[in-house]
Structures are given as structure tokens and as C-alpha cells.
Amino acid sequence: MDGGAVERREEPPAGNGKGSGNGAAGTPVGRSSYGDRRLRLNPNTEHKPERYDDLQTDLDPSIFTSLERHLPPSMLEVPRDVKVQFMKEILARYLPDGERSRVQRHKEYKQRIMSGYQPLNTELYNMHPEAFFVPSFIKAINDNTEDSFRNILSEPSPGVYAFAMLQPKFCEMLLAEVENFEKWVTATKFKIMRPNTMNRYGAVLDDFGLEAMLNKLMDDFICPISRVFFSDVGGSSLDSHHGFVVEYGKDKDVELGFHVDDSEVTLNVCLGKQFSGGELFFRGIRCDTHVNSETQPEGVHVTLRFRCQRTF
């Protein structure tokens, strides 16, 4: 899961530095009434931003959710429409035209899918904790303490946690939904965007309607855990996600090579029916300078064997 970023730039002082005769400086025409309110350089991790999924805009709603954490304190309690206007003015000033065009194209792409695809299991598209999660996971989230989380997980390597999370029925429904979506793609010859450049098979869950459910999953069930165990890398302020499934098998992808996830926190879930293999390798943490460097023999190597419905 990853948050958006907005560049903060210094604005030149208003006016020409001369008084108007009454001690009041005029406001240049077209300048926002909030133009003198600077964004925070670092996000406010204690602030819970509003959701903007219903916002009619060309931009991804998660951009507004992320940017809200950078608003000055005086803006956090104002009505949502005021915050939206303020953030739109910032984005209009600094967001590159190319990024705006990319976001608009992806929005239109998702709309084309949503207008044609008929979900198989509609109950998947809204959060139902008792139906989705095993009781031990729900109890840990409700207790919301480090001890309650440690009671349900193991730590096979520093910073790598394994725990039971999902009900078998939920996993079955999700697999069936993905298979149904793939059948629709084949039948309609719709060219879909794959989850990344490394996998030729798989689907982005947000693209066919699961975005709202996954937002709820992140906010209410992943953030409480990441806030405790990954606070030093942004676990306290997760505000967007990239939820997807990838598929491996005969005549398909058979492995995924070494790579570095572009995320603050990664949640891996093993889904499948009958298969062999499924090992998951961890090779330590990379700094920004060496994120794409070759692996070294003396590096940290941890091998975990995935079981169905097991979560890392």
C-alpha cells in the first residue's frame, strides 16, 4: 500500500512590500483565500482523513485522502467542501499535466469495465467482517493492542509476520470472482491492464469494483496492525492501496523473480485450490540508493512456504 505525494513549493510573498496607507496589504486577484496556509512537510499520522470516493473529479480520490494529512492544522476541521476546494487549487497548480491525463484515462478504463461486467458474488463488494475473517483475527483487531496482535502471529524473520486472517469461504468466493472476471475478459475480448510489468496473468481488484471494500480492509483491519509494527516506514498513515491477484500455473507464469515492492506495507495472501510450490522468499530491506542492486550471497534470505489462506 502506497500513498500519493504532492510537492510543496515556496510561494513568493504577496504584494510589493509597500504599505497601502492604512496598514493592510491587498490580496492579488485570483489568489486563493487560503494561499498563505502552507502544507505540512510530513504527514500528520494522528489525523484520520475523510474518504473522497464519492468525489466527482478526474483525479484518483486517494490523492485527496493522502493530501489531507499534509493540510495545516487550521484546515483540518473545516467542512469537507472547503478542504476539497483548497486541495484542488494546490493540485491544479502543481500536478503535472501528464499525470492528470494518466489518471483520467484510467478512470475511463474502469468505467468501461464497470458498465459491462456483472459481479458473481455481490457480497464481496462490501465489508462483512464476520464472513470474511477468522474469529481470532477479529478479536485481535477489536482489542487493538500490540499483545493482541502478537497472540495471533508469528515472526519467522524480523519484520515479517505470518497469521491466519481469512475465512475459507471468502477465499473461495474471491477466487470464483476473479475467474468470472477473466471469463468476461475473454468473452468480450476486453484488453485489461495487468497488475504489474512482471506478471502476464492476473487482475487488479479495484478495476472491477472491489476498491471500496479494499479501502475498508486497509483502514479498519490493516492499519491497526501496521501502526504498531511498521510505524517507522509509514504504517501509521496508509491512505491508498494497490490490490491485485496474480496467477501462476502450467502455460502461465511459473515464478516471480526478485523485486522490491513499491509500498510501505505489503500483505501477501496465498489463494489456490490444488498446487505445489508456493515458496515466498524474503531478501532483506533495501535502501533507496540500492533498491535495484543485485542480491548478494551474504544477504538475508528467508524462505517461507505458503499454505492456502495464510497471510504474510
- The DSSP secondary structure of 142-165, one letter per residue, reads HHTSHHHHHTTEEEEETTEEEEE-
pLDDT above 90 for 290: no
- Greater pLDDT, 27 or 251: 251
pLDDT attached to residue 225: 95
pLDDT above 80 for 268: yes
Query: Averaged over 232-260, what is the pLDDT?
Result: 80
CB 1 within 8 A of CB 242: yes
Distance of alpha carbon 53 from alpha carbon 107, whole angstroms: 12
CB 213 within 8 A of CB 169: no
pLDDT attached to residue 240: 83
pLDDT above 50 for 291: yes
Residue 19, number of CB atoms within 10 A of its CB: 9
Query: Averaged over 237-265, what is the pLDDT?
Result: 80
pLDDT attached to residue 6: 33
The grid coordinates of residue 226 equal 501496521
pLDDT above 70 for 2: no
pLDDT tens by residue, 82-123 = 999 999 988 888 878 777 787 788 888 899 999 999 999 999
pLDDT tens by residue, 154-213 = 998 888 899 999 999 999 999 999 999 999 999 999 988 888 777 778 899 999 999 999
Residue 56 pLDDT level (bands cut at 50, 70, 90)? confident
Of the chain, the percentage scoring pLDDT greater than 70 comes to 80
pLDDT attached to residue 148: 97
Highest averaged pLDDT of the listed ranges 12-26, 258-272, 275-289: 258-272
Residue 221 pLDDT level (bands cut at 50, 70, 90)? very high
CB 86 within 8 A of CB 34: yes
pLDDT attached to residue 20: 38
Closest CA to 268 of 235, 245, 301, 240: 245
Specify the residue for cell string 512537510. 41
Q: Reduced to 3 states, what is the DSSP secondary structure of residue 310? A: strand
Residue 14 pLDDT level (bands cut at 50, 70, 90)? very low
Is residue 4 classed exposed, middle or buried when 0-12, 13-18 and 19+ CB atoms within 10 A define those classes? middle
CB 165 within 8 A of CB 152: no
pLDDT attached to residue 25: 36
Q: In what order do the strands lie in the sheet with 310-311?
A: 153-157, 160-164, 310-311
CB 100 within 8 A of CB 58: yes
pLDDT attached to residue 36: 53
Distance of alpha carbon 87 from alpha carbon 79, whole angstroms: 13
The pTM for the full model equals: 0.69
Torsion angles phi and psi, residue 249, rounded to 5: 165, 180
Closest CA to 156 of 309, 305, 302: 302
Residue 134 Cα to chain centre, angstroms: 23
Domain ranges of the chain: 12-17+27-95, 105-311
Distance of alpha carbon 212 from alpha carbon 224, whole angstroms: 18
pLDDT attached to residue 200: 79
Closest CA to 209 of 131, 129, 127, 113: 113
